[in-house]
Chains A and B, each alone.
Chain A
Amino acid sequence: DIQMTQSPSSLSASVGDTVTITCRASQRISSYLNWYQQKPGEAPKLLIYGSSRLQSGVPSRFAGSGSGTDFTLTISSLQPEDFARYFCQQSYTNSWTFGQGTTVDI
């Protein structure tokens, strides 16, 4: 299995801040990297696919980048509804794997 490692595991931020979350794959996965947002008690929501492509309906303050093994999710001008847990997930192989998650709290 490809291991996905996120950092940090948690971070504190304020409304209006810009935050960056990193995801590293244990082997090269080209751009086959997705990002999800999960709020407590809810199912995950797809934010970004193909490393940098915004899922329909997702605000443009979310941006993804990277290729190969290193990826980032950047949230600009953090909004109250953005405080949540974020997961990366690789779809390069037929066995998908998720990162351990990053909690963004106030």
Chain B
Amino acid sequence: QITLKESGPTLVKPTQTLTLTCTLSGVSLSTSGVGVGWIRQPPGKTLEWLALIFWNDEKRYSPSLRSRLTITKDTSKNEVVLTMTNMDPVDTGTYFCAHRISYHIGDTYYSGLDYWGQGTLVTVSS
């Protein structure tokens, strides 16, 4: 059973840098094919994909937030860390990490997010 858990500050001030940690169990970040993503959701709004990191350290970022995001992994701790700089009140929301699943069907790979953490609410306010 794969589980993920987010941790980090619940309150950050505008212009500060947010650092969130996602701790995985049941799957190793060093296993071929493993990927972990970050997604956020402002209160009452839709989901926004932020970033994804793979076992081989390949990284992908949302183009609109790329300049503010950094995703890294610590294989020894089985953790994925997301940092977001220059936080603003519009960045308030629940931040989720999730495990990427990939299904190989024929000559096609379909990816989705099958296991999610419970999410952590981050409020940006002075």
- Seen from chain A, the residues whose Cβ lies within 8 Å of a Cβ on chain B are 1, 31-32, 34, 36, 43-46, 49-50, 53, 55, 87, 89, 91, 94-101
A1 to B62, CA, bound (A): 9
Q: Is A46 in contact with B112, judged by CB distance below 8 angstroms?
A: yes
B34 is an interface residue with CB less than 8 A from chain A: no
Cα–Cα, bound, A50→B111 (Å):
8
- The reply to whether A49 and B47 contact each other, CB–CB distance below 8 Å, is no
| In the complex, residue of chain A having the shortest beta-carbon distance to the beta carbon of B62 | A95
The prevalent SS among residues of A at the interface is loop
Q: Is the interface on chain B under 10, 10 to 19, 20 to 34, or 35 or more residues?
A: 20 to 34
> Which 10 A-B pairs have CB atoms at the shortest separation, nearest pair first?
A43-B116, A50-B110, A96-B49, A98-B47, A49-B112, A34-B112, A100-B46, A91-B111, A94-B60, A46-B114
On chain A, the residues within 8 Å of B125 by CB distance are none
Closest B residue to A99 by CB, please name it.
B46
Binding site for A on B (CB under 8 A): 37, 46-49, 52, 60-64, 96, 98, 101, 103, 105, 108, 110-114, 116-119
Residue pair B103, A53 in contact (C-beta under 8 Å): yes
Expressed in whole angstroms, the minimum distance between the Cβ of A93 and any Cβ of chain B is 9
Contact B117 A43 (CB under 8 A): yes
